[in-house]
Amino acid sequence: MARFGNPAPSGPVSQPNESMKFIIAVSIGVVLGYFIGVSLPAVNITKLHLPRSNIVCTEEDSPSLDTSTSGHNHSSNNRRLHSNYSLSHSSNNTRLHSNNNLEIYVSTNPRGAERLPPGMVVSESDLYQRRLWGKPSEDLHILQKYLVSFTVGLGQKKIVDAAVKKFSENFTILLFHYDGQTSEWDEFEWSKRAIHISARKQTKWWYAKRFLQPDIVAPYDYIFIWDEDLGVEHFDAEEYIKIVKKHRLEISQPGVDPSTGLTWQMTKRRRDKEVHRETEEKPGRCSDPCRPPCSSFVEIMAPVFSRDAWRCVWHMIQNDLVHGWGLDFAFRRCVESAHKTIGVVDSQWIAHRNIPSLGNQGKGKNEKAAKQGVRQRCYEEAATFGTRMADAEKAYYREMGMLPLKRQPCGP
């Protein structure tokens, strides 16, 4: 066999050791250089937080980078953190600098986690429930790709039970309880695998903002955020997902049976279609046929979001506007080509039972007042939301020195 001039096999025994040492030394140099590099922009900020006197770091604080193999002894006895020193001298002598101030600061880490080595940062989570015993790697039999949440009160137990049963084991089930009653649901088999979150008299969007943070629901391809008063006789969630994927809908909802009354034509179920993306409205309602409520539009009662769409919508939900009114007209801002990627699925459809049950939480003669109060707040929130959006948009264009484009019908 021909030799290819690789000296390593024929060299003296000590040579690999020598070159190994060299390689390790160089690697450590590179690694230290890297950390110094990434920490540089941070020093300015860190400096502000340092006390006036020099800090003497204790041994426990010192980084545990193992340097013993390199033959270099980075004594930590003298590891003083000079607030001025590190900046002014670092550019020329990174090795010296690194010995004195070996702090991790990774500016590309998530905000607040800059001091962690990136390999230890877990910025996303899920709602999978794990066992208290055994190997963590064997905890989960199904990695659910879909999430459905219902905002419920015990009064709608039967309707909710029927609805939940339309969602297979591939769905994580999340119940938000607005009446404080949770264990009462345990008569249903599925309740034991559901996640129950209880906070009295809060709305669906209040829960969604607080418990469906995008980094927490990151593993789910689709997220259903549904009301409790939906008839699901003609609905199957797995089938629904298939259709949504096929038609590449980022935001969708099932068509609604018109027999119980409809607010918008868009969500009315069509008998001759699998999905639809536009509609005709009453005269004057649509200035642009590609904009809500004639297109790029679903309602807030039973929306389904893709992961990416939800990440945006979650940010758009205002912390103090809990009823979500106005969101539906703004969903389109969260997707590209909204008149193509927002649509209504006709072949899997639902019935809206119109029970404003959260508004019924008042008792006796308070009930009517409560209902009225809720309704009024809904309208006011819708107006506030609209104003904020318009102002924010104007402010953006002003800051960018741009004039908002005159929109073409069905334009961007």
Cβ 168 to ligand NAG shortest distance, Å = 4
**Span 115-144, contacts to ligand NAG by CB under 6 A:** none
Cβ 217 to ligand NAG shortest distance, Å = 18
Cβ 282 to ligand NAG shortest distance, Å = 40
Q: How many residues does the chain have?
A: 412
**By C-alpha distance, which of 352, 353, 373, 376 is closest to 361?**
373
Cβ–Cβ under 8 Å, residues 239 and 348:
yes
Q: Which span (57-65, 76-84, 304-312, 350-358) binds ligand NAG, by CB under 6 A?
A: 76-84
**Pick 72 or 196: Cβ nearer ligand NAG:** 72
Cβ 2 to ligand NAG shortest distance, Å = 44
**Pick 17 or 54: Cβ nearer ligand NAG:** 54
Helix (H, G, I), strand (E, B) or coil at 247: coil
**Pick 82 or 377: Cβ nearer ligand NAG:** 82
* 92 forms part of the interface with ligand NAG (CB under 6 A): yes
Q: Which span (4-12, 83-91, 96-104, 227-235) binds ligand NAG, by CB under 6 A?
A: 83-91
The binder of ligand NAG chosen from 44, 64, 73, 183 (CB under 6 A) = 73
- Residues 165-204, one symbol each (x = binds ligand NAG by CB under 6 A, - = not), give ---x-x----------------------------------
**Pick 70 or 265: Cβ nearer ligand NAG:** 70
Give whole-number Cα distances, 284 to 264, 281, 287, 293, 294, in Å.
13, 8, 7, 11, 11
* DSSP conformation letters of 390-410: HHHHHHHHHHTT-PPPPPPTT
**Pick 78 or 137: Cβ nearer ligand NAG:** 78
d(CA 300, CA 324): 7
- Residues 215-254, one symbol each (x = binds ligand NAG by CB under 6 A, - = not), give -----------------------x----------------
Q: Count residues contacting ligand NAG (CB under 6 A)? A: 11
Give whole-number Cα distances, 18 to 22, 68, 95, 96, 279, in Å.
6, 15, 21, 24, 76
Cβ 171 to ligand NAG shortest distance, Å = 9
The binder of ligand NAG chosen from 15, 27, 91, 376 (CB under 6 A) = 91
**Pick 141 or 365: Cβ nearer ligand NAG:** 141
Cβ 239 to ligand NAG shortest distance, Å = 9
* Other residues' Cβ atoms within 10 Å of the Cβ of residue 333: 13
Cβ–Cβ under 8 Å, residues 204 and 176:
yes
d(CA 55, CA 62): 12
**By C-alpha distance, which of 335, 345, 370 is closest to 356?**
370
The binder of ligand NAG chosen from 77, 287, 319, 408 (CB under 6 A) = 77
User: And the tokens for 253?
Assistant: 């909802």
Cβ 17 to ligand NAG shortest distance, Å = 17
**According to the 3-state scheme, what is the secondary structure of 109-172?**
CCCCCCCCCHHHCCCCCCCCCCCCCCCHHHCCCCCCCEEEEEEECHHHHHHHHHHHCCCCCCEE
Residue whose structure tokens are 């469906």: 212
* 58 forms part of the interface with ligand NAG (CB under 6 A): no
d(CA 152, CA 228): 6
The binder of ligand NAG chosen from 10, 14, 75, 319 (CB under 6 A) = 75
* 67 forms part of the interface with ligand NAG (CB under 6 A): no
**Pick 168 or 387: Cβ nearer ligand NAG:** 168
d(CA 32, CA 30): 5
Q: Which span (81-89, 107-115, 199-207, 248-256) binds ligand NAG, by CB under 6 A?
A: 81-89
Q: What is the CA radius of gyration of the chain?
A: 29
- Contacts with ligand NAG by CB under 6 A lie at 73, 75, 77, 82-84, 91-92, 168, 170, 238
